Amino acid sequence: MYNKIIITIIRGIFTYILVLIITRLMGRKLISQMTFFDFIVGVSMGSMAANLSIGSENTPITASLSLITFAILTILIGFSHIKSFKIRKLINSEPVILIDNGKIVENNMKRIRVTIEQLTMKLREKNIFNLADVEFAILETNGKLSVLPKADKMPLTPSHMNIPTTSKGLMKDIIIDGNIINENLKTADLDIQWLKSQLNMNNIKDASDVFYAGVDNAKNLYLSKKNNSNTETEGKYGIE
């Protein structure tokens, strides 16, 4: 009994390490970019990993080889996916136009088995409640719907009114849960003294009292204090 428990634990650890190595080799991919093929690959590898972890005594070697072979094939297909347009088209198919110049393409909807109810639901998720407001709608290979509203239905932006704007850039994390991120502070061309002065301006004695602090390219600092005694969230801007 105890031997089986120990063997199961060892196999579980081995499977975990093997899956970790394989996923690192396969690289990252955003969940939103996953196609149906990617989903099937993930489910299949998960099933193989489960078989390796808790299968019969004769399965570890065969399950390991199967999982490694599957991973190698997936990696090779990933590289060929980048190099060859034909392989991309074969695996992921192509985007499908569902609305073209304001008109619903019924043949394409039938071909990919999308109903008008599903189309209108996807449009509502894009905050479009009237089909007449749509110029183009394209179903992407990952199942997401890309929508181009008609010109007179597009949201008004500063560029439409010739209003000049400036980019604040990405906010750099300066303090996370009371810990100062010195690398980001240095990247922002700032130092500890500047940070301390900003904290003093906001009546904060120490960085350990800060839940989060971030700074943008214009040196605008956002602060959120730790919530020790109440549920109120405090966020303030301190200008250099």
- Calculate mean pLDDT across residues 227-234: 49
Locate 188 and state its tokens: 């922002």
What is the SS3 string spanning the chain? CHHHHHHHHHHHHHHHHHHHHHHHHHCCCCHHHCCHHHHHHHHHHHHHHHHHHHCCCCHHHHHHHHHHHHHHHHHHHHHHHHHCHHHHHHHHCCCEEEEECCEECHHHHHHCCCCHHHHHHHHHHCCCCCHHHEEEEEECCCCCEEEEECHHHCCCCHHHHCCCCCCCCCCEEEEECCEECHHHHHHCCCCHHHHHHHHHHCCCCCHHHEEEEEECCCCCEEEEECCCCCCCCCEEEECC
103-148: per-residue pLDDT in tens?
Answer: 999 999 999 999 999 999 999 999 999 999 999 999 988 788 999 9
pTM of the full predicted structure?
0.57
Is the pLDDT higher at 137 or at 171? 137
Is the pLDDT higher at 83 or at 119? 119
5-55: per-residue pLDDT in tens?
Answer: 888 888 889 889 988 888 888 776 655 566 777 788 888 888 888 888 887
Question: Domains plus CATH for the chain?
Answer: 1-91 (no CATH), 94-151 (3.30.240.20), 170-223 (3.30.240.20)
> What's the confidence (pLDDT) of residue 29?
62
